[in-house]
A and B are shown apart, each in its own frame.
Chain A
Amino acid sequence: MTLIDKLANREDLISPGISACVGCNVELTLRTVLKILGPNTVLAVPPGCMGGVGVVGWDKKAGAKIPVFFPLLDNVASMLAGIRLGFNARGRDAHVVAFAGDGATVDAGFQALSGAAERGDRILYICYDNEGYMNTGYQRSSSTSKGSWTSTTPVSREGKGGKAQHRKDFPLIMALHDLPYVATASPAFIPDLVRKVERAMEVRDGLAYIHIYNPCPTGWSFKAEDSIAISRLSVKSRFFPLWESRGRKLTITVREQRPVPVADYVAKIGKFRHLGPEGIAELQALTDERYRYLEAMEKSGAGGDGTGA
Chain B
Amino acid sequence: MSQVEVFNGNLAAAHAARLSRPEVIAAYPITPQTPVVEYLTQFHADGLLDCQMTEAESEHGAMSILSGASLTGVRCYTATSSQGLALMYEPYFRASTLRLPIVMNIVNREMISPQTVWGGPQDSLTLRDAGWIQLYVEDNQEILDTTIQAFKIAEHPEVLLPVNVCYDGFYLSHMSERVELPTLAEVDGFLPPYSSRHIILDPDHPMAVDPLTNGRLLMGYRRKHMEAQAAALRVIEQVDSEYSDRFGRSWGGLVGEYCAQDADYLMISLGSVCGALRECVDEFRSRGLRVGLLKIRSLRPFPRERVIRALDGKKGFGVIDRNVSFGTNTGILYQEIRAALYSASKRYPAAAFIGGLGGEDLTLEIVERAIDATMASVDAGEVAEAATWLIRPEKRGNS
Contacts and interface: CB of A to CB of B under 8 A. Distances in A.
Interface of A: 39-42, 51-52, 54, 56-72, 74-75, 78-90, 92, 94, 111-112, 114-115, 118-119, 121
Nearest to A117: B57
B64 A75 contact: yes
A63 to B, nearest CB: 7
A82 B70 contact: yes
Interface in B189-217: 200-203, 205-214, 217
A67 B209 CA distance: 8
15 contacts: A51-B212, A56-B208, A60-B211, A64-B206, A65-B206, A67-B207, A69-B71, A69-B201, A71-B68, A75-B90, A82-B72, A85-B69, A86-B52, A94-B203, A111-B61
B73 interface: yes
A75 B69 contact: no
8 closest residue pairs by CB, A with B: A82-B68, A115-B57, A57-B211, A86-B72, A78-B64, A75-B64, A62-B208, A79-B68
A253 to B, nearest CB: 30
Contacts of B51: 89
A61 B213 CA distance: 10
Most buried by B among A39, A80, A85: A85
Contacts of A56: 208-212
Contacts of A83: 68-69, 71-72, 201
Category for how many chain B residues contact A: 35 or more
Given A70-B210, A70-B211, 19 more contacts: A42-B203, A56-B208, A56-B212, A61-B211, A64-B206, A66-B206, A67-B203, A69-B209, A74-B60, A78-B60, A78-B61, A78-B64, A82-B65, A82-B71, A86-B23, A86-B24, A87-B72, A89-B24, A118-B57
B52 A85 contact: yes
B65 A78 contact: yes
A72 B94 contact: yes
Contacts of A94: 203
B71 A86 contact: yes
Contacts of A42: 201, 203
Contacts of B64: 71-72, 75, 78-79, 82, 112
A111 to B, nearest CB: 6
Contacts of B264: none
Contact of B52 (A62, A65, A88): A88
B201 A112 contact: no
Nearest to B196: A86
B91 interface: yes
B87 to A, nearest CB: 11
Contacts of A119: 54-55, 57
Contacts of A82: 24, 26, 64-72
Interface of B: 23-24, 26, 51-52, 54-58, 60-61, 64-74, 90-91, 94, 200-203, 205-214, 217
Nearest to A44: B68
Nearest to B98: A69
A222 to B, nearest CB: 28
A77 to B, nearest CB: 9
A67 B210 contact: no
A85 B212 contact: no
Nearest to A121: B54
B52 A89 contact: yes
Nearest to B52: A85
Nearest to B218: A59
B211 A85 contact: no
A157 B26 CA distance: 52
Contacts of A80: 68
Nearest to A13: B206
Contacts of A39: 203, 206
A101 B214 CA distance: 24
B90 A85 contact: no
B72 A90 contact: yes
A9 B54 CA distance: 40
B73 A58 contact: no
Contact of A86 (B61, B73, B203, B209): B73
A115 B210 contact: no
Contact of B91 (A66, A67, A72, A118): A72
B85 to A, nearest CB: 16
Given A59-B212, A75-B61, A89-B74, A81 B206 contact: no
A201 B91 CA distance: 28
Contact of B68 (A60, A61, A81, A111): A81
Contacts of A40: 203
Contacts of B26: 82, 85
A63 B208 contact: yes
Contacts of B67: 75, 79, 82
Contacts of B91: 72, 75
A179 to B, nearest CB: 16
A54 B212 contact: yes
Contact of A68 (B24, B61, B209, B213): B209
B68 A78 contact: yes
A114 B70 contact: no
B208 A64 contact: yes
A208 B31 CA distance: 34
